[in-house]
Amino acid sequence: MSRPFQPLKSAIAVSLLGAGIALTPVASLVGTAAAAAPMAKMQAPGFYRMMVGDFEVTAISDGTVKLPMKDLLTNTTPAKIDAALKRAAIAYPVETSVNAYLINTGNKLVLIDTGAAGLFGPTLGNLLTNLKASGYQPEQIDEIYITHMHPDHVGGLMSGGSVAFPNATLRIDKADTDFWLSEANMKAAPKDSQGFFQGAMGSVNPYLAADMLKTFEGGVELVPGIRSQAAHGHTAGHSVYIVESKGEKLVLWGDLMHVAAVQFDHPAVTIKFDSESKSAARERAKAYADAAKGGYIVGVSHISFPGLGRVRANVGGKGYTWIPVNYSSLK
């Protein structure tokens, strides 16, 4: 039986030889095709960009940290948490992202939260490196808005014993600074919670001493297109930030939630880090409902990086679904 592909095969061989390309038997390549190489064991730089109207938004990763959520989540049971994590194919302990967001309005460069630096373990503290990889320098930051003064949000304010952002105005809800900068509150707190106060003081007091801290109360327009909104409960002055440009909207939730696989289905689930768990749960329920109704983009500190997406109410009114933003090359 004739083989119709044989003339084509011969013609290709003649063409290659005519071009001076030597033909090497396939068998001779088997031992050399895959050279041994060490594993790189690193991700690409941790930043992601998108546009909100005319504003450039850069999500910046401070890293991830593994947390024992069955010990930390409250108003639920370890068995329910375990089942939810298995449904989402999430390993335990839960590897949790720590995200910050940089907003370039065209007139101001605004950083929302700063990561942990060295206050929350060795797997965090990458914000400055990733900020620089994204094309910006710490000296360029005009304003810093803190959602709340837990160590994984304020630790990055300092670098090597000095303020990390020497030209920035620091903005925090006064209820949070009144609570976390109080020596009396620290002394009254349980021993295992006093480190949170020490981290807050060590990170924020240098800005206070340099007259770089400017507090606000409740809902305030901080710069054109960005305003604060009180969402107290997780801490005394926990705030979310609303970014709007050209009819588009982004709401940065801070720590309104921590574990997507659990808390979107069950918004009443709280966490031991909450100062006032009932208030935190109410704020989360309000935020879910508003985001689902408004259809705008949400940025969340502890959803898998970049932590940007939309919220959709489930059919039947039970729980919500998280829809991550579609990847864009931003051309």
Domain boundaries, the chain: 47-324
What is the per-residue pLDDT for 218?
95
Concatenate the DSSP letters of all residues of 19-45 into one string: TTPPP--GGGGTTTSS--------PSP
The answer to whether residue 155 scores a pLDDT higher than 80 is yes
Q: What is the pLDDT of residue 331?
A: 62
Task: List pLDDT tens digits, range 283-321.
Answer: 999 999 999 999 999 999 999 999 999 999 999 878 999
Using CA atoms, how far residue 116 sits from 42, 72, 108, 288, in Å, is: 20, 19, 24, 26
> Average pLDDT of 92-101?
98
Average pLDDT over residues 54-65: 98
Separation CA 242–CA 240 (nearest Å): 7
- The confidence score (pLDDT) of residue 316 equals 84
Question: Residues 66-75: pLDDT tens digits?
Answer: 999 999 999 9
**C-beta separation of 179 from 236 below 8 A:** yes
The dihedral sign for the CA sequence 122, 124, 125, 128: positive
Give the pLDDT of residue 190.
Answer: 94
**pLDDT-wise least confident of 26-35, 85-94, 262-271, 317-326:** 26-35
pLDDT range class, residue 4, cuts 50, 70, 90:
very low
Confidence of residue 329 (pLDDT cuts 50, 70, 90): confident
Contact 62/99 with Cβ under 8 angstroms? Answer: yes
CATH number at 47-324: 3.60.15.10
Residue 205 structure tokens: 């007091």
Indicate the average pLDDT of the chain.
91
Alpha-helical (H) ranges within 146-305 are 151-154, 174-180, 183-188, 194-209, 260-263, 277-294
Q: CA dist 306 to 46, 88, 309, Å?
A: 8, 18, 9
pLDDT higher than 90, residue 223: yes
